[in-house]
Amino acid sequence: MKIRTPRLGTFISVLGLPLLTIALASSATVDKVSVFASGKAINATAPDSITIANGSIWVSYGNGADSTGLKGSSTVVKYDRTGKVLKTFSIRGNVDGLKFDPETGIIWALQNQDGNSTLTLIDPETGIISGSPLSYAVKSSTRGYDDVAFLNGKIYLSYTNPTGPGDDTIQRLDNLDSPLRLSCVLQKGALGFNLATGVAKQATTQNDPDSLSTTPFGLMLTSGDDGQLIFVQAPGTPAQSVSFLQLIDSTGAAVSGLDDAVWTLTPKGTFFLSDTNNNRVLKIEVSNLLPSSLYASVGSLNTVGNVDLDTGTVTPFITDVNGPHGLLFLPDFKSLFGK
């Protein structure tokens, strides 16, 4: 299975980053696909977020729990690199966001993204930290926190279900005790540079703020329903700037069901993908990647696709899945040197 990789010059120059040129093959290849984990094996369903902590792979299973916390519980699982279950944790509500904080060594499990949100902190060795779950100072039955990103000593969360321009979509955490207080970083409708058209001061849509991650240039937010990627440089500072890319299919239509998006850092590596509706986590070994390429889980296409950074076009790469959600890329750094 091969795809063409996009040009990077326009995107990198907009973000003000130096472009490292590496001579590589121009088509990426899926070498091997295997089932890393199955929800059935632990009596769980609907795998979603994936994170890595000190060599172990963590996966959250939603189990059909209500996304506003009214009923049900999620299962968070710690696996070794072979897929062996090391620990399981039952957390009340729907855990949609799962992220490892490398500075503190703590796993963050965000539950109830559509209302009545809470936060559970897990020590990878000792388990759920006393005092969890933590509550938020501003409570809502219709909005909540979906994902978290750690950048330059600060903590940012994506805030869901905005109803109109001016509603917060990214917030910065101001304290680490309950109740949690946050301040605005980005709002729905914020103006930014359209990477596909090259036009500045264009309004972002951000109808469905979802996954949040760090990149070398700041934060990257996915907006699921409208298939938009939003990039925020120097978040929360006077120098903050915004750029965005509307993802489209081969016909030019906007995609939907956009979830995780990740950058590939090396020519070879391994994707871990939550194949949610098939109740499994896949391990996908890949090669001939172009470093600094972008891949995204796109529900409307049932694929993990390569994103053309000039046009936003998504080319299917990992197929034969049903409801792709959580996505993690582990780089093989030796491959940078031809090994």
Tell me the DSSP string of 72-86.
Answer: -EEEEEEE-TTS-EE
The parts of the chain modelled with pLDDT lower than 50 are 1-26
Cis before residue 179, ω within 30 degrees of 0? yes
pLDDT for residue 143? 98
**Confidence (pLDDT) at 116:** 98
Tens of pLDDT, residue by residue over 89-119, are 999 999 999 999 999 999 999 999 999 999 9
The closest of 101, 45, 54 to 79, measured between CA atoms, is: 54
**CA gap 145, 125 in Å, rounded:** 25
Domains observed in the chain: 2-337 (2.120.10.30)
pLDDT of residue 247: 98
pLDDT computed for residue 4 by the predictor = 35
pLDDT (0 to 100) of residue 318: 96
Contact by Cβ (8 Å): 195, 243: yes
